[in-house]
């Protein structure tokens, strides 16, 4: 199976590292300026540890794959509950919406309509790839 297109969720590594750095800065601040009161001290230490652990835990999670396109089929959510659409089952595709928020709708041969815009951010590239694979475009 030759993979022609793949859409993953963005890694957002900067936000995850920011959680770790914020927790580390809190630890440094707690060491330099220890607060008064046992409950406040333990609460701030727990928050600092939780931020660091959340950042490290999120870094360990792989990004979610939303869409694969091969020469023979479109596979939606390949790592979860998989939905496979053979290319020959697609009657045509239609582009609607605005330039900022395009909507790509696939019309299947069984009469079903499937919005691919929920599964990808790069609608023009997906449309061009599907046209190259032989899917006709419906004019609105």
80-132 per-position pLDDT tens digit: 788 899 999 999 999 888 888 888 899 999 999 988 887 888 888 888 899 99
Contact 81, 127 (CB under 8 A): no
For 48-87, the pLDDT digits (tens) are 999 999 999 999 988 888 889 999 999 988 877 888 999 9
Query: CA-to-CA distance for 119 and 129, rounded, in angstroms?
Result: 15
Output the pLDDT for position 56: 95
pTM over 0.75: no
Contact 110, 89 (CB under 8 A): yes
Q: Which tokens in the block code for residue 80?
A: 């979860």
Output the pLDDT for position 82: 86
Query: CA-to-CA distance for 34 and 58, rounded, in angstroms?
Result: 29
Q: Which tokens in the block code for residue 127?
A: 């449309």
The structural architecture, per CATH, of the domain 65-137 is Roll (2.30)
Each domain of the chain, given as residue ranges in start order, spans: 3-60, 65-137
Confidence of residue 21 (pLDDT cuts 50, 70, 90): very high
Burial class (CB in 10 A: 0-12, 13-18, 19+), 76: buried
């Amino acid at each position: 199976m030759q993979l022609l297109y793949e859409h993953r969720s963005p890694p957002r590594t900067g936000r995850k590292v920011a959680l770790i750095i914020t927790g580390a800065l809190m630890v440094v601040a707690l060491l330099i300026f220890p607060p008064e009161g046992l409950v406040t001290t333990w609460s701030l230490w727990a928050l600092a540890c939780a931020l660091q652990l959340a950042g490290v835990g999120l870094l360990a999670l792989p990004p979610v794959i939303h869409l694969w396109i091969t020469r023979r089929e479109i596979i939606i959510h390949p790592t979860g509950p998989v939905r496979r659409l053979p290319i020959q089952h697609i009657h045509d595709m239609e582009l609607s919406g605005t330039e900022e928020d395009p909507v790509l709708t696939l019309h299947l041969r069984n009469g079903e309509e499937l919005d691919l815009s929920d599964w990808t951010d790069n609608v023009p590239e997906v449309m061009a790839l599907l046209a190259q694979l032989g899917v006709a475009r419906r004019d609105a």
